[in-house]
A and B are shown apart, each in its own frame.
Chain A
Amino acid sequence: MNAPTEPTRKLRVATTSLAGCFGCHMSFLDIDERLFDLLPLIEFDRTPLTDIKHCGPCDIGIVEGGICNAENVHVLREFRANCKVLIAIGACAVTGGLPAQRNHLDLADCLQEVYVTEVSLSKGGIPNDPELPLPLDKVHPIHEVVKVDYFIPGCPPSADAIWKFLTDLIAGRTPKLGHGLISYD
């Protein structure tokens, strides 16, 4: 797989991790030396790698993780408002993933169990610092909150899948993963 040829202008890319584990970002970095092929083509806006706090106008937004709290919703909306193409990456962004495994439970029961009842976990009651974003009663995949243009499933998607997807997209092809690269686990 060759990297696409250099465009006249670098594509501006933003990434974020919402209710995710950063595994998808790690998998992105796992493209290893192919990052050198990618860097002449793109520049980063807000990402955990640049520490830019807010997303500006971008060509591509990549969102890891689902929506589990109020802050996730704000960040996701900011991405949608600023990114021409929005990509959901990983099982959590695409399906809700692991965090959504609490969806059949009552949120208050979860908080009670973790912060009060369970002795090995409890550390002085349910946190209520105003700095903390309020949890939502259910965890949602991001397409339930904003329009999403592309989805890359996987927990996490492999570096090869991410590479194939991004190089297709940057080259102006419809991204296609195919056998061995498309994976839900």
Chain B
Amino acid sequence: MSDTQTFLLDGEEIPFAPGQTVIQAALAAGHYIPHLCYHPEFKPHGSCKVCTVKVGNRTAASCTLPAQAGLEVESASDEMNDLRRTLVQMLFAEGNHFCPSCEKSGNCALQALGYDLGVMTAGFRHLFPDRPVDASHPDLLLDFNRCILCELCVRASCEVDGKCVFALSGRGIDKHLIVNAPSGRLEDTDVALTDKAVQVCPVGVILKKRVGFAQPIGARRYDASPISAQALADAPRAPAGDGRCAACEEAEEK
């Protein structure tokens, strides 16, 4: 026991295995750190910054920060939660999130995070972007209005499905999700309903058709308990894939 390494999270000792990140160790110990783009089965992406914690005088994304013995990490403070609230507000203002008509409502990580952080308004001026949906595929709908650019579908499609159906394109505020087909339409890809990429979207972008509200509002994942009470669901587990697909590796080498 004596050689178990630990760090401090909000004053509590958290054990960790070598190679674990701060968020992995925290979640494994049942301590919730808010997050959106982190997923236990994928390599960290570090883009949403919702998992930001304070270490000393600096802030760092806990999903990319390696756990080290003796670290003193501050997460559940007003300062960190204020920062997270602002990030979530910006995500709401930047897309079109009309929850009352969204099939993901109640199962949506962004929404659940908003509830848990007490986000009562997006605060900022809503951008109301124009993002047409892609309903071309017989079994899947893509509603780009709700994309938070977490790249989970991109990572899943590449690392697990080996298909690279999705990618992000553009920079800054123009960054957006694209479909890798000459037509840009989902019907012209080899995406399948069983693909990992179809299952990982934390929000209501990649939706199976003809499912709708079969699971009624009120009986959904985050109706039962807040997202912060479900930390163990995101505890580390075996990676879903083993790195990038062969085609991407090859392209990189060239």
Interface residues of A (CB under 8 A from B): 88, 91, 94-98, 100-101, 103-104, 138, 140-141, 143-144, 148, 150-153, 155, 176-177, 179-180, 182-185
Bound CA span A183–B120, Å: 9
Write out the residue numbers on chain A whose beta carbons fall within 8 Å of the beta carbon of B98: 91, 95, 97-98, 100-101
Total contacts A-B at CB 8 Å: 73
Cβ contacts A to B, 25 pairs, < 8 Å: A88-B121, A94-B121, A95-B92, A96-B126, A98-B101, A103-B128, A104-B96, A104-B128, A138-B128, A141-B121, A143-B123, A144-B126, A151-B121, A153-B121, A155-B99, A177-B118, A179-B115, A179-B116, A179-B225, A180-B223, A184-B97, A184-B111, A185-B99, A185-B100, A185-B217
Q: Is the CB of B115 within 8 A of A182?
A: yes
Closest A residue to B132 by beta carbon equals A104
Interface residues of B (CB under 8 A from A): 92, 96-102, 105-106, 111, 114-116, 118, 120-123, 125-126, 128-131, 217, 223, 225-226
Q: Is the CB of B225 within 8 A of A95?
A: no
Bound CA span A177–B226, Å: 13
Write out the residue numbers on chain A whose beta carbons fall within 8 Å of the beta carbon of B217: 185
Bound CA span A180–B102, Å: 18
Say how far A108's CB is from chain B's closest CB, in angstroms.
16
Write out the residue numbers on chain B whose beta carbons fall within 8 Å of the beta carbon of A98: 98, 100-101
Bound CA span A97–B101, Å: 10
Q: Which residue in B120, B123, B128 is a CB contact (below 8 Å) of A150? A: B120
Write out the residue numbers on chain B whose beta carbons fall within 8 Å of the beta carbon of A100: 98, 126, 128
Write out the residue numbers on chain A whose beta carbons fall within 8 Å of the beta carbon of B111: 184
Say how far B118's CB is from chain A's closest CB, in angstroms.
7
Write out the residue numbers on chain B whose beta carbons fall within 8 Å of the beta carbon of A138: 128
Write out the residue numbers on chain A whose beta carbons fall within 8 Å of the beta carbon of B114: 184
Say how far B133's CB is from chain A's closest CB, in angstroms.
11
Q: Is the CB of B122 within 8 A of A95?
A: yes
Kindly list the 3 A-B residue pairs having the minimum CB-CB distance in the complex, ordered from nearest: A184-B99, A155-B100, A151-B120
Say how far A66's CB is from chain B's closest CB, in angstroms.
10
- New A-B pairs, 15, CB < 8 Å, besides A151-B120, A185-B102: A91-B98, A95-B97, A95-B126, A100-B98, A100-B126, A141-B122, A143-B123, A148-B121, A177-B120, A179-B115, A179-B116, A182-B118, A182-B120, A184-B99, A184-B111
Write out the residue numbers on chain B whose beta carbons fall within 8 Å of the beta carbon of A141: 121-122, 126
Closest B residue to A144 by beta carbon equals B125
Q: Is the CB of A91 within 8 A of B121?
A: no
Write out the residue numbers on chain B whose beta carbons fall within 8 Å of the beta carbon of A143: 121, 123
Bound CA span A138–B96, Å: 14
Closest B residue to A104 by beta carbon equals B130
Q: Is the CB of A96 within 8 A of B128?
A: yes
Write out the residue numbers on chain A whose beta carbons fall within 8 Å of the beta carbon of B115: 179, 182-184
Write out the residue numbers on chain A whose beta carbons fall within 8 Å of the beta carbon of B120: 94, 150-153, 177, 182
Say how far B42's CB is from chain A's closest CB, in angstroms.
27
Bound CA span A143–B124, Å: 9
Write out the residue numbers on chain B whose beta carbons fall within 8 Å of the beta carbon of A182: 115, 118, 120
Write out the residue numbers on chain A whose beta carbons fall within 8 Å of the beta carbon of B126: 95-96, 100, 140-141, 144
Known: A95-B126, A141-B126, A184-B105. A176 touches B100 (CB 8 A): no
